Amino acid sequence: MDDRQTRDLTEKQKIYWKKNTRLIQGLMVIWALVSYVAAIVLAVPFHNISFFGLPLAFWFAQQGSILVFIVLIWYYAKRMDTLDKEFGAREVILSDQSTGKEVSH
């Protein structure tokens, strides 16, 4: 990345961003495993495994994946709250001017 021309981020901001992206990556892996791997790629073998009244593949496809999506977003919001607190984040919205022309910080 070309960092030279910009105002340097503080060390803390770099760590914050790294922690944020690592959290996102982890959650995206689970997202892909649940929706694409469990419900689609493994649909044929999972069809023969019974999950209560349903084949496991069908359950993942039509119920389980949606429940996992909800948990993922909940966990992300909670973790980011903790991260914000840990790092003492202040809410600054870049442009609240209706003109929207200038980026102020």
Partner 1 sequence: MSAETLTMILVVLTFGAYIYIGWWAKAKDTSSFFVAGKGIPAVANGAAIAADWMSAASFISMAGLIAFMGYDGTIYLMGWTGGYVLLALLLAPYLRKFGRYTVPDFVGDRYYSNGVRAVAAIATIFISLTYVAGQMRGVGIVFSRYLQVDIIVGVLIGMAIVAFFAVMGGMKGITWTQVIQYFVLIIAYLIPAVAIALQLTGNPIPQLALTFSDIAQRLSDLQLELGLKEYLAPFQDLSAINVFAVTLALMVGTAGLPHVITRFYTVKSVRAARYSALWAIVFIGLLYTTAPAIGVFAKYNLINSFHNQTLDQVRTEAWVPKWESTGLLQLEDKNGDGTLQLTPDAATNEVIIDKDIIVLSTPEVAQLSPFIIALVAAGGLAAALSTASGLLLAMSSAVSHDFYYRILKPNATEQQRLRVSRIMIFLSVLVAGYFGIYPPGFVGEVVAFAFGLAAASLFPAIFLGIFDKRMNREGAVSGILIGLIFTFVMILLMRSPQIFGTEEPILSSFLGINAQGVGVVGMILNFVVAYIVSRATAAPPAEIQQMVEDIRTPELADSPGQAS
The yes or no reply on residue 77 touching partner 1 (CB under 8 A) is: yes
User: Residue 55, SS3?
Assistant: strand
The yes or no reply on residue 82 touching partner 1 (CB under 8 A) is: no
Within 8 A by CB and 6+ apart from 51, the residues are 59
The yes or no reply on residue 69 touching partner 1 (CB under 8 A) is: yes
The yes or no reply on residue 33 touching partner 1 (CB under 8 A) is: no
The yes or no reply on residue 28 touching partner 1 (CB under 8 A) is: yes
Contacts of 23-26 with CB under 8 Å at 24 or more apart are: 23/76, 23/79, 23/80, 23/83, 24/76
Helix (H) or strand (E) holding 54: strand 54-55
State the minimum distance, in angstroms, from the CB of residue 49 to partner 1: 12
The yes or no reply on residue 22 touching partner 1 (CB under 8 A) is: no
State the minimum distance, in angstroms, from the CB of residue 15 to partner 1: 9
State the minimum distance, in angstroms, from the CB of residue 26 to partner 1: 10
